[in-house]
Amino acid sequence: MSALAMDASSPRALLHLLFNGARAVDVLETALALGLLDVLEPGPVTLGALAAQHKLVPGRLYKFLDCLESLGLVKREQDSDALESARYRAVPGLRAAAESVLGLHSLERDREQYAWQELRGRLPEVLRGAHSMSTASFDWPPRTASQVEGFESSMAAGLGPILETFRTHAESLFSAGARLLDVGGGDGTLAGHLLRDHAGLSVDVYNLPATEPLVARTRQRFEHPAARMGFVGGDFLREALPTGYSALSFVRVLHDWPAEVARSLMKAAYDALPSGGRILICEEFRTPERLAAQFFWSYFLMGVDSCVSRLREVDFYLRTLEDVGFHAPHVKPGPFELVVAHKP
Ligand SMILES: C[S@@+](CC[C@H](N)C(=O)[O-])C[C@H]1O[C@@H](n2cnc3c(N)ncnc32)[C@H](O)[C@@H]1O
């Protein structure tokens, strides 16, 4: 279990915490807003110092910190019953995690706009196949203009950690003159950022034709010329991938499909690339933390059969890339690991 997961030391403890979820979020939002996490994370800090610094009532702050401790998010050392001398330290990464999960522009807040309430309380029927998400609310792939726009902007909102990985490995990813096709490239936000970071790069976004206006808008927003940032409309389930690129990327695309489709897309990439061309896969790999982050979609997509949503271990991608002919598949570390391989 990751250090940031709830301290579910027993099923009962986990269930108590879950039942108190709204209150737990209130506590964490408050800790974030008051700046307590900034002090607690480097820690250790005594309760007395924390209370004095933030003008808080020590006895109340103690109970507040008990809430955080029960979540497994702070550790306490206390030698006596004197509250003020108790020392606290937050688990590493808590400040950034709270900002990312609870902050104003968090993915979880964005997800609230989806019609998950259509499933709430009706899971028995959902599981029996008698009730589904209405296609007016959500369809996969998204169909109406507003679905396409809403979904792609949700995706773009979650690109932060992916961009961080691309930036960490910038030197080794794109040489001057590289031409990238970003397959299933959303509204082009990733392309826009990559172009900003790499002067010698050009990127075409490959996506369903309905996304073209979104990509055009993104290109304008980034002020990239059409010669550097293009759009290729197509459906990868029905046609071969276009050729003429030195690299093809699949970012959060392959997990949407059953293994045989994911494999056929990797094979299609192999066929489209020239010798020496590279495939880049940045995925929702199956790790405890990623599965937790995916909780919303695991729940929501129970009502959407056309989207399989399969988080797979990174080994699946490494093995399949080798099977379809790629050489030296390897993982570049980062908040969203990047799998890279080349065509011999
Ligand atoms: C989960 S989103 C990921 C978007 C983007 N790569 C990102 O990470 O932000 C999957 C993308 O695949 C695209 N897609 C779905 N089915 C497709 C198809 N049959 N052909 C081409 N693109 C498709 C969707 O339109 C969407 O942009």
To test the pocket of ligand 1, the residue of 166, 207, 212, 280 to mutate (highest count of ligand atoms within 8 Å of its CB) is 207
Instruction: Tabulate helix, strand, coil % of the chain (nearest 5).
Output: 50, 15, 40
The DSSP result for 125-140, as a single string, is HHHTTS----TTT--S
Which structure tokens are listed for 273?
Answer: 């690339």
CB 211 less than 6 A from any atom of ligand 1: yes
Q: What confidence tens digit (pLDDT) does each residue in 121-161 have? A: 999 999 999 999 999 999 988 888 888 888 888 888 889 89
The CA distance from 193 to 282, in Å, is 15
Does residue 5 have a pLDDT over 60?
no
Question: Which structural domains are found in the chain, ordered by start?
Answer: 11-102 (1.10.10.10), 139-288+305-342 (3.40.50.150)
Region 242-270 average pLDDT: 97
CB 32 less than 6 A from any atom of ligand 1: no
SS3 of residue 158 by DSSP: coil
Q: What are phi and psi of 119, to 5 degrees?
A: -100, -20
Does residue 6 have a pLDDT over 90?
no
pLDDT band at 9 (very low <50, low <70, confident <90, very high): confident
Proportion of the chain above pLDDT 70, given as a percent: 98
Provide the pLDDT for residue 2.
41
* Ligand 1 atom with minimal separation from the 210 CA: 25
Amino acid at 325: G
Rounded to the nearest angstrom, the distance between the alpha carbon of 44 and the centre of ligand 1 is: 45
How does DSSP classify residue 304? -
Q: What confidence tens digit (pLDDT) does each residue in 220-244 have? A: 999 999 999 999 999 999 999 999 9
Rounded to the nearest angstrom, the distance between the alpha carbon of 68 and the centre of ligand 1 is: 38
* Ligand 1 atom with minimal separation from the 152 CA: 27
CB 40 less than 6 A from any atom of ligand 1: no
Rounded to the nearest angstrom, the distance between the alpha carbon of 194 and the centre of ligand 1 is: 18
Rounded to the nearest angstrom, the distance between the alpha carbon of 317 and the centre of ligand 1 is: 18
Provide the pLDDT for residue 95.
96
Q: What confidence tens digit (pLDDT) does each residue in 278-299 have? A: 999 999 899 999 899 999 999 9
Q: Is the dihedral of CA 238, 276, 163, 213 positive or negative?
A: negative
Question: Do residues 192 and 220 touch, judged by C-beta distance below 8 A?
Answer: no
Q: What is the mean pLDDT of the chain?
A: 94
Which structure tokens are listed for 32?
Answer: 């974030």
CB 208 less than 6 A from any atom of ligand 1: yes
Provide the pLDDT for residue 243.
98
pLDDT band at 8 (very low <50, low <70, confident <90, very high): low
The CA distance from 13 to 19, in Å, is 10
Question: Do residues 108 and 99 touch, judged by C-beta distance below 8 A?
Answer: no
Provide the pLDDT for residue 51.
98
CB 207 less than 6 A from any atom of ligand 1: yes
Provide the pLDDT for residue 105.
85
E-state strands within 82-150: 87-90
Q: What are phi and psi of 148, to 5 degrees?
A: -60, -45
Provide the pLDDT for residue 187.
95
